[in-house]
Amino acid sequence: MRRILVTGANGFVGRWLTKKLLQRNYFVRNAVRRQALADISSDEEIIIIDNIDHTTKWERALACVDCVVHLAARVHVMNEKSEDQLSNYHTINVNGTVNLAKQAAECGVRRFVYISSIKVNGENTIAGLKFVPDDDPCPVGAYAVSKYETELALLAISSKTSMEVVIIRPPLVYGPGVKANFKNLMNWLDKGIPLPFGSIYNKRSFVYVENLVDLIIVCIDHPKAKNEIFLAGDGASISTTELLVILGQALERPARLVRVPHGLLEIAAALLGKRSLAHRILGSLQVDISKTVDLLDWAPAYTLNEGLWKTAKAYIRDKAGYEAGF
């Protein structure tokens, strides 16, 4: 039985990954910062890690482990005001990961699967082009830079040890239980709020959480994944307008979209200090997953449309449960 250490196991992707690993009869050891008992199965072994930095001791967590899936990270925060963002991200995302990887190699871990970010490739794609793994990296901002620096450090460790490294760069991950901006979109649609996004003709790629988890599990064992970089995605891209229409249909709350010129939206976002959010809503970001599909003989189990409907239906169920007091 393969023994897997999952860091960030009580996060959005981590909970889904743990569930699927157990269903496939892996031994799972979860490293978490706080013990969320309601989300922990009796089949899981839990290791509490107070902080992740260059001083963290991982020996107990790494004992007899075959593979590490490293999800834990200081996540991207839009419009962050910290005076030293790069240092803050560097402490956890770079130093913390490098420390874990070095100890993993010393403990005889066979493979280290690192969940990076499509932001290593860049913030946006231009019309007709998609990001591919071999693009020259163009990270923008402290978070993306920290992810890229970590990738380089992990590949360097792999070149000097017997531990293999696999890097996965996902775009925005969505699915049942998603939080942040994606949930905000569903909240707005559910409340029937008119949105000025009726004429946005961008193209954006997403990855449904079960598709990402399936890819991660493939990368745990697949021999051709060794020391490779893969992009994740659902295999299709849609505009923000199309996204809202589909979600509105699934929520049974037709999207109330107002056609506002793209230029006016950009001006309004600049005046409100929301440039970063505007780039996500108005700009394009497409990924080409052909290397992932071809090299690993893998394909997304769920289409983009199926993933969006499953996400919206879960939102309805969760809302009904909350209102009922469950």
Backbone phi and psi for residue 258, each to the nearest 5 degrees, phi listed first: -105, 135
pLDDT attached to residue 38:
43
Q: What is the pLDDT of residues 73-85, one digit of tens each?
A: 877 554 555 556 6
Stretch 13-32: mean pLDDT, rounded? 93
Q: What is the pLDDT of residues 245-279, one digit of tens each?
A: 999 999 999 999 999 998 888 887 788 787 777 77
Task: Kindly report which listed range (34-43, 157-166, 303-312) carries the lowest average pLDDT score.
Answer: 34-43
Stretch 164-173: mean pLDDT, rounded? 98
Stretch 32-37: mean pLDDT, rounded? 64
115 within 8 A of 71, measured Cβ to Cβ: yes
| Given the residues 89, 143, 302, 315, the one annotated as active site | 143
Our CA dihedral for 204, 300, 168, 93, rounded to 10 degrees, sits at 70
Domain ranges of the chain: 3-174+206-236+286-301
Q: How far apart are the two ends of the chain, measured CA to CA in Å?
A: 37
- Tokens, residue 6: 């999952």
74 within 8 A of 89, measured Cβ to Cβ: yes
**Superfamily name and number for 3-174+206-236+286-301:** NAD(P)-binding Rossmann-like Domain (3.40.50.720)
Q: Give catalytic status of residue 148 as yes or no.
A: no
Stretch 105-112: mean pLDDT, rounded? 96
